[in-house]
Amino acid sequence: MKKTLLILLFGMLTLFKVSAQIVEPVTWTTSVEKISDSEYYLVSTATIDKGWHLYSQDVPEGGPIPTTFSYDDQGGKITLSGNTSEEEGHTVNDPVFEMEIKFFEDKANFKQKITLNESVVAVEGMVEFMVCDDTKCLPPTEVDLTFDLNTANAGGSKTPLEVASEGTQEGDTVSKTESADPASSNRSNSRSLWAIFIIAFFSGFAALLTPCVFPMIPLTVSFFTKQSKNKAQGIRNAIFYGISIVVIYVILGWLVSAIFGADAMNALSTNVWFNLFFFLLLVVFAISFLGAFEITLPQSWANKVDAQSNRSGLIGIFFMALALAIVSFSCTGPIVGTLLVEAAVGGNNIGPIIGMLGFSLAIALPFALFAAFPGWMNSLPKSGGWLNTVKVVLGFLELALAFKFLSQADLVLQLHLLEREVFIAIWIAIFGALAFYLFGKIQLPHDSPVTYISVGRLSLGLLVLSFTIYMIPGLWGAPLNLISAFPPPLYYSESPYGVGFSKLDEGASAKSYESLPEGAHLLEPHDIMAFDDYDKGLAYAKKVNKPVMIDFTGWACVNCRKMEQNVWPKPKVLDLLKNEVVLISLYVDDKRKLPEDQIKESKVRPGKMLNTIGKVWTEFQILKYKSNTQPLYVLMDHNEENLIAPVAYTPDVDEFHNWLHTGIANFK
């Protein structure tokens, strides 16, 4: 009797442990807000368990799978007005995907405005979404939504209708790259704003040293000191002049935020046409800085503002500051335009405002300081050819930055015209030419004759030359960590092994594709042989008498990529993966459609059809291993029995190696 009770107890505990691996961290509720007799808001609310993240609808191409809503228009009875809106959420710079990614924590609301063309009682919809935490991810989940219009409340009060998160998911999500703690997100946003401010401040300082702005410092300060009745008034006027400069540029930043909004700019940042437009714009700015022509605002603007600057008092001083902004546009415009876009596409509403605050402070401070201490002006270097040199250097930098935007467009379109090696070669050419310019070997229009170069110019030239030489190994696969945010990722190249090498070359350690068994391929860049077909992989394992390692993974799974980049390449792990096991990688977010004769109904979600490869592997993982998270690693024998308990995300190399070694030993 006791033995029977123990067996039952053990069975219950085992069942509890297994079933607990199926996680459903998001619950969806719906409500309806009535706008008028024919207009409504369909509100979908996601309640997210602590530590988990739900991804935005606006995820850049090549990133995680976005949240997607669809609604049944019931044969034209309903008209959707615009797209489904969402809250601000959190935006972080994901180092794995190398892009800005937006996600939600705790709770997220989505709204869709509709217009009724005929009487309707309820609206049916569906949401597909992805979530993950620090260690695991879930496949894309489809949840049916029902919006009961009879429960609509004017003014937005909500009557939630619980919607069950039915059964299983259908793909994989990416892991977040930031702590789930909201305070951590806030700290990240604060760091971003500080970075924007600091970059903008130094950009303003660079603009200050251009021919359009620098000569204005002594002229303007001299005007204030001579026209003022006393020194105190001169200082006060100069300070107000500086404050006016700050106000003008901050208003410009505020207008960009108000007109476009952070979400719109962030979406534009991944738009092909936006990136192409901004590439061409920066090229035009660069050519202007290099001396081919000048970009100026209409002269009538300058004349009208200059006329207002003759007015007495603080109003006249404000218009003097505005006149400076207009007259110096040929030098400051390209820098301001670049800063505004770079700050706005970061996804922060106040990014452009902070950027313009930093930029304008750098320009305004000298006017106030030199007015307070006029004697300092004697230490200012005289205007001359060095000012044009600063402008030309900025032109080279603008030209280099332009190719970042062209690269992003190429990545989205997957044209492979501007792969990593080509991008790096272009940067080597640009910065190499800049080094020759600084050494006086290249002269451009408006340059003064160079009889000798100063120590400062020589030092900058040596720094640029060193940077150019640093980039050269990037052609042969060096990671170039100093500029990793600019060139395309390592995998987007002619060969992950660098120029002159490929997996088919004699110098490569990998086998050629022709020698691989049917259904196998090589995982670059470490040449691990893998199958993505379960049956073919198992058959090969039996043939060579090796255990099978199943890798439940996803194309958009960050933690999967972290394991492949940080754990698998370690020599003791890589040796086992290449020589002691047969790897079968099953992608649960594989969207390829199944042939009609292979489509069948889901056992986990009755009524739903398994019509993609990813859905098949998701269902297989849930039914056999009672888990729906990725990555999940399984070591099994030829009878498909586990050699050791499966493991999930295991960043500790020794722990993962011990797991592999123990499972292989059990097989032998």
Question: pLDDT (tens digit, 9 = 90+) per residue, 346-362?
Answer: 545 677 788 888 888 88
Mean pLDDT of the chain: 76
Token pair belonging to 512: 């050629």
CA distance 664 to 583: 13
Confidence of residue 644 (pLDDT cuts 50, 70, 90): very high
- Say what the pLDDT of residue 103 is: 87
- pLDDT band for position 656 (cuts 50, 70, 90): very high
CA of residue 571 relative to chain centroid, distance: 31
Maximum mean pLDDT: which of 473-482, 495-504, 545-554: 545-554
Which two tokens mark 562?
């972290």
Return the pLDDT at 159.
36
Residue 642, token pair as written in the block: 């586990």
**List of long-range contacts for 518-526, beta carbons under 8 Å, 24+ apart:** 523/564, 523/583, 523/585, 524/491, 524/496, 525/490, 525/496, 525/497, 526/568, 526/569, 526/574, 526/578
pLDDT at 512: 41
Chain centre to alpha carbon of residue 654: 32
In the structure, what pLDDT confidence band is assigned to residue 25 with cuts at 50, 70 and 90? confident
Peptide bond into 352 cis (omega under 30): no
Percentage of residues in the chain with pLDDT exceeding 70? 73
* Whether pLDDT at 458 is above 80: yes
Mean pLDDT over 143-154 rounds to 80
**pLDDT score at 576:** 93
Q: What does the pLDDT read at residue 6? A: 40
Percent of the chain predicted with pLDDT > 90? 17
Question: How many alpha carbons lie under 13 Å from residue 506 in its C-beta half-sphere?
Answer: 0
pLDDT over 60 (residue 214):
yes
Nearest to 452 by CA among 535, 386, 539: 386
In this predicted model, which residue has the larger pLDDT, 129 or 136? 129
Q: Which residue has the higher pLDDT, 312 or 599?
A: 599
Over residues 59-88, the pLDDT tens digits come to 776 667 789 898 988 888 888 888 898 888
**pLDDT tops 70 at residue 263:** no
Classify the C-alpha dihedral 553-555-559-565 as positive or negative: positive
pLDDT at 665: 93
- pLDDT number for residue 572: 92
**Average pLDDT estimate for 618-625:** 88
Among 152-166, 181-195, 254-268, 532-546, where is mean pLDDT lowest?
152-166
Domains of the chain as residue ranges with CATH: 25-179 (2.60.40.1250), 202-381 (no CATH), 513-667 (3.40.30.10)
Which of 195, 245, 31, 224 lies closest to 123, judged by CA? Answer: 31
Q: Which residues of 14-30 are buried (b: 16+ CB within 10 A; e: fewer)?
A: eeeeeeebbbbbbbbbb
pLDDT at 619: 87
Contact 532, 585 (CB under 8 A): yes
DSSP conformation class of 376:
G
Confidence tier at 464 by pLDDT (50, 70, 90) = very high
pLDDT confidence of residue 405: 81
- Find the mean pLDDT for residues 183-206: 67
More confident residue, 374 or 468: 468
Edge to edge, the sheet with strand 53-55 lists 90-94, 99-104, 53-55, 131-132
Identity of the residue numbered 30: T
Q: Are strands 582-587 and 528-531 parallel, antiparallel or unpaired?
A: parallel
Q: Is 346 helix (H, G, I), strand (E, B) or coil?
A: coil
More confident residue, 266 or 616: 616
Confidence (pTM): 0.48
Beta-carbon contacts of residue 521 (< 8 Å; ≥ 6 apart): 513, 529, 530, 531, 532
What pLDDT, on the 0 to 100 scale, is given for residue 634? 94
Indicate the Cα dihedral angle 486, 492, 497, 502, nearest 10°: -150
Specify which of 92-96, 103-107, 298-302, 387-391 reaches the highest per-range mean pLDDT: 103-107
